[in-house]
Amino acid sequence: MTRDEIRELAAFKVDDKKGACALSFYFQPDPPQDRSHRREAIVAKDVIKQALKSAAAPGKNGSLHADLDRILDVATNLRGHVRGKAVFACSAQNFWKEYELPPHVGATQIYLQSRFQLKPLAALLGAQPALCVAVVDRQRARIFDLRLDDLRERGAIVHMLSRSASSYGYNGYEAGHAERRVAEEALQQFKAVSERLRTDLEKGIWERLIIGCHDSNWPEFEPHLHPYVKQRLIGRFSADVASVTDEEIRDHSADILNRWRIERAATKASEAVSFAKAHGRGVTGLRRVLQALEAGEVQSLFLGENYSARAVECSHCGHLDAHLISSCVACGHRTHELGDICDAIIPIAIRRDIELVYLKDNDDLDRAGNIAALLRFRSDQNRTGQVAAAS
Ligand SMILES: [Zn+2]
């Protein structure tokens, strides 16, 4: 899934005159240990059948029914599916897109709205770094790129044991020599892999790193990692280069990435809250966050997992206001009420490349009204004051 595809979804709006509906469906697979139960595939079908029932109610149109039938077909084929999935559909406007996602979608749900529901997607994509996964042992290394759920092997480094080392016999004297030789060659291999990781990082090929290796190899390999490569390391899993499957690499990496994101989100949100207290590069509360969004100041946006608030949107200029006023303060035109401001904020964040971070049970954010932002700058202060101190 590319950024342009996400932007296309964020820009989509149904034509009200056609009475059409933007349908968003998310599928959360069972956790690996429960896969034999295939519970989620059953849940998915129930969710859609429920939506079909309400769509059958008077006043709803046929195109929605057709979309739901088609999604029901998709769900029927999700038995045993191990990846997350999203479908965005609006047959009235000839729109149908399916995406495979990492298995952390949240919940299996369907949304029928005037825009596509992008919250689960935004939560998933929020802090999605360009990830490098290197699976390493003493002779082999395989290097992968992982973008969302797309795992691609970028290269391999194979250290051929020199013939003299591999063909040493079993007699005592030569065996000891062979062992030293093998250790020396493993050292060369680990150095070669580290060097490759360093140059790829410098070329901007990846931003964060995950290593897969035998636990016994890690103490040998780790000291060879360059300090700034190591800074980018977000976790390690136990794996055998020869036998590890793509599926296992994806599963381990998704878990590591998820843990890292949760920790990083908490740190950054606390930063935003404390910067806001110091009148620095942070703001809290819906009113201030909306102002900062409009001023183009926002770098990262933090939302409580279940954050929702009513607000108004100007039908003419798009101004968003936390006060439920009937005419726009910016242009004077009429406003309309939004049941949930997030439906307007998320597409803005996606269009402007603002990092969107959802947090669960974060006390700092909770006390700050469950919405906060880290700012690139503050337009109401000059660069010499607290802004500089905060950055
Ligand atoms: Zn306006």
Distance CA 127, CA 323 (A): 31
Residue 321 CA to ligand 1 center (angstroms) comes to 10
Residue after which a domain boundary falls, among 88, 103, 125: 125
Average pLDDT in the 273-296 region?
95
The residue segments making up the domain with residue 370 are: 262-390
User: pLDDT (tens digit, 9 = 90+) per residue, 137-189?
Assistant: 999 999 999 987 789 999 998 877 665 545 555 555 566 777 888 888 889 99
| pLDDT-derived band at 386, boundaries 50, 70, 90 | very low
Q: Are residues 364 and 319 in the same domain?
A: yes
Q: Are 148 and 106 found together in one domain?
A: no
Gap from CA of 370 to ligand 1 centroid (Å):
26
Highest mean pLDDT: which of 48-62, 144-158, 212-226, 339-353? 212-226
The CB-side HSE value for 155 (13 A sphere, CA atoms) comes to 9
* 153 and 135 belong to one structural domain: yes
Say how many Å lie between the CA of residue 356 and the centre of ligand 1.
Answer: 25
Domain co-membership, 279 together with 364? yes
pLDDT at 37: 66
Query: How far, in Å, from the CA of 348 to the mean position of ligand 1?
Result: 16
Average pLDDT of the segment spanning 184-209: 94
Which residues are in the CB-under-5-Å shell of ion ligand 1? 314, 316-317, 319, 328, 330-331, 333
The number of domains in the chain is 3
- Domain endpoint, select from 78, 95, 125: 125
**58-62, 214-218, 325-329: the lowest-pLDDT one:** 58-62
256 domain-assigned: no
| Distance from Cα 247 to the centre of ligand 1, integer Å | 50
339 and 237 in a common domain = no
112 and 200 share one domain: no
Distance 330 CA to ligand 1 centre (A): 5
Give 22-51 pLDDT, tens digit per residue. Answer: 999 999 988 777 666 678 888 888 888 888
Domain containing 380 — which CATH number? 3.30.1330.30
- Domain end call among 125, 152, 184: 125
Tell how far the Cα of 338 is from the centroid of ligand 1, in angstroms.
Answer: 15
How far from 318 is each of 14, 293, 294, CA to CA, in Å?
16, 12, 10
Residue 385: the pLDDT is: 45
13 CA from centroid of ligand 1 (Å):
19
What is the pLDDT, as a whole number, of residue 58? Answer: 53
Predicted local confidence at residue 389, as pLDDT: 42
pLDDT given at position 175: 66
Tell me how far the alpha carbon of residue 295 lies from the centroid of ligand 1, in angstroms.
15
Residues 236 and 352 in one domain: no
Q: Is residue 15 part of a domain?
A: yes
- Using CA atoms in the order 330, 308, 266, 203, what is the torsion angle rounded to 10 degrees? -60
